[in-house]
Amino acid sequence: MAESRLTNTELERALRELGSRYPYPPTPNLAVAVRRRIVARPVAPVRGLTLWRDPRRLALAAAVVLVLAGAAALISPTTRDAIAHFFHVRGVIVSRVSPLPSLSPVTPLNLGRRTTVADAQSAASFTIGVPAELGAPDAVYVDSEVPGGEVALAYTPRAGIPLVKQTGLGVLITEFRGDLVPGFLTKEVGPSTTLEETSVNGDPGWWVAGEPHLVITRIGDTDYPVTLRMAANTLIWEHGGVTYRIESSLSKAEAFRIAAGLP
Amino acid sequence: MEGRPLDDLALVERARTGDVNAYEALVQQYQQLAYRVAYQVTGDAADAEDAAQEAFVNAYYALGRFRPGAPFKPWLCRIVANEARNRRMAAHRRTALAERAHWAQVSGEAAPSPEAAAEADEFRATLVKTLGALRDDDRLILSYRLFFDFSEADMAEALKVPKGTVKSRLSRALTRLRDALPADFQLSSGGTIGG
C-alpha cells in the first residue's frame, strides 16, 4: 500500500493546483468598513507598552521613577500627576487622546471561554468577587491566556439596569491580576469623557464616564491588541493586586453601590 | 492583488503618520489574502469577514510598533490568523462535529460535477475536506506555502516561528496531511487534479 501513496512532491503539486481552485467565498470589500473605523491620526498612540511588557525593564524604570519622584513632586504639580497616573491602578494605563479614534460601537468582547463561577475560580489565581448588589451573573467567562486569568461576569439588562450598546449587556464586570500584567489594559479617553481619580472601598481607582472611551487589551509580548473596542461608563480599581472593572451605563453612585459588594 | 514590498514600505510609512488613504490602499491590496487566510482558520464566511476587518483595524493601531522596513504581508497575516482564532473560540458557534460537517459540505460544494471532471472533483473535494480536519498550524503553513506562495522568511514571520524550522514544519504538515488522506487516495489520471 505504501508504494502507491503520494510523494511529498506530488502532494505539493496537488495542493498548488488546488490553491488556484479552492472554494473560497467571494472576498468582501473590507476597505470601506476599515476606513470608517479608523481616523486620520498618527498611529503610534500606545505609549510605553514595550516597557511595560518587560518585567526587568519595568522594574528598572520603576526604580528610576521612584528615585526621581520625591524631587519631581516638589518641583512640578504636572509631573506629580503624571506619576500618580502611572501607579494609580496596576494593570491599567489611562491616557487622554484627542481626537479619539472612531470604532464601530459594537465589536467583539473577546471575554474568553464561557463557563461557571466555580470553574472560572479553578482557573483564576485570585478569589472571584461576585457583587451582592447584582447577585449571580447571567454568564461567566474566563480567559486563561491572561496571566493569573481574567474573569468576566455578564449581567443582562433588567429593570434599573439599561442596555449598554457597546457590550450588548447591562453590566459587565471583569477581574484580573493587575499586578501580573502591568500593561494589560489601556484606556484612551477623549476630550468629552469625564476622567476622575477616585477611591473605591479605600483603594485607588478611576471613574470614566460620558462619551464612550477606547479600551485596548494586550497579553504578553504580542504587538497587537486582543481587544480593541469602545466602552461605556467604567469604574475601575485595584485591591490586593486584583484589578476590578465595572462597565455599565449606570451613574457613578450606582456603580459604587455595585463596587461595595466587591473586595 | 499584492503590492511590491517597496510600495508597501512607502504606504506603511505614510499610514503611520495618519494617512488613511495610504492605509486604505494597503487594505485593498491585501484584503483578499487576509480574507482567505481568515477563512482557512474559521471555515466560515461571516467569521472570516469579521476577523479580517478586525485585523485590519487592529493592525492600523499597531503600526506604531511595526518594525520599520519589515515586510507588511506576513505581519498582517499573523494578526489575521490570531484574530480568526479568537473569533472562532469566542463564538463557540460550532462544535467540532458541526465543523467537520461544515468542511464536508464545503468539500461537497467544491466544484459542480460535470461528468468529465468527476474524478478530479472527487480528488479536490477529498483534499479540501482532509485539509479542513488538520490543525490550524498545519493548514496555515500549507496554505501560506502552496496556496499563497509565501517565501520561507514570510512563513516564519507569519507563523512567528524560527526561520530554520519552517521547512521541517512544512514537511511534517505534509506528512500529517498524507496520513489523514484515505489510503486509496491517488492522483487522478494524467497526474493532476485539473478538471
B175's CB contacts (< 8 A; 6+ apart) are A8
Residue type, A55: P
Mean pLDDT within A207-212 = 91
- Judged by a CB distance cut-off of 8 A, whether residue B105 touches chain A is no
B7's CB contacts (< 8 A; 6+ apart) are none
**How distant, in Å, are the alpha carbons of B89, B136, B163, B174 from that of B159?**
19, 11, 10, 16
CA dist., res. A86 & res. A93, Å (int): 7
pLDDT, residue A124, reads 95
Find the helix packing angle between B5-16 and B20-42, rounded to 10°.
110
More confident residue, B36 or A4: B36
Domain ranges, ordered by start, for chain A: 49-86, 88-259
User: What's the CA angle centered on A184, arms A242 and A153, to 5 degrees?
Assistant: 55
Task: Tell me whether 0.90 is exceeded by the ipTM.
Answer: no
pLDDT, residue A190, reads 83
**Percentage of chain A surpassing pLDDT 70?**
73
Q: Is the pTM of this model over 0.80?
A: no
Give me the residues of A, 199-258, that contact B with CB < 8 A.
216, 222-226, 228
Q: Contact B147/A37, CB-based, under 8 Å?
A: no
Lookup: cell for A42: 498618527
Q: How far is A240 from chain B (nearest CA, A)?
A: 29
CB pairs under 8 A between A and B: 164
B173's CB contacts (< 8 A; 6+ apart) are B134, B137, B138, B139, B141, B142
pLDDT, residue A137, reads 94
Q: Contact A24/B36, CB-based, under 8 Å?
A: yes
CATH for B5-91 is: 1.10.1740.10
CB B38 within 8 A of CB B64: no
In chain B, residues with a C-beta closer than 8 Å to the C-beta of A103 are 57
- Which residue is it, cell 489565581? A125
- Judged by a CB distance cut-off of 8 A, whether residue B117 touches chain A is no
What pLDDT, in 10s, does the model give residues A60-74?
Answer: 344 333 333 333 333
Among B87, B20, B53, B37, which Cα is nearest to A30's? B53
pLDDT, residue B87, reads 79
**How distant, in Å, are the alpha carbons of A32, A219, B31 from that of B51?**
15, 18, 11
CA dist., res. A244 & res. A254, Å (int): 16
- Highest mean pLDDT out of A27-36, A122-131, A180-189, B104-113: A122-131
The conformational region for residue B37 under phi > 0 = left, psi -120 to 50 = alpha, else beta, is alpha
φ, ψ dihedrals at B10, nearest 5°: -65, -40
CB count in 10 Å sphere of residue A199: 9
**pLDDT above 90 (res B139):** yes
User: Is domain B96-180 annotated with CATH 1.10.10.10?
Assistant: yes
Q: Contact B57/A228, CB-based, under 8 Å?
A: yes
In chain B, residues with a C-beta closer than 8 Å to the C-beta of A188 are none
In chain A, residues with a C-beta closer than 8 Å to the C-beta of B27 are 30-31, 34-35
**How distant, in Å, are the alpha carbons of A26, A231, A257 from that of B39?**
11, 29, 45
More confident residue, B121 or B82: B82
Q: Contact B193/A28, CB-based, under 8 Å?
A: no
φ, ψ dihedrals at A68, nearest 5°: -80, -20
Q: Contact A225/B186, CB-based, under 8 Å?
A: no
Name the H helices within chain B.
5-16, 20-42, 45-62, 72-91, 96-108, 118-133, 136-142, 152-159, 166-180
Domain ranges, ordered by start, for chain B: 5-91, 96-180
- Judged by a CB distance cut-off of 8 A, whether residue A2 touches chain B is no
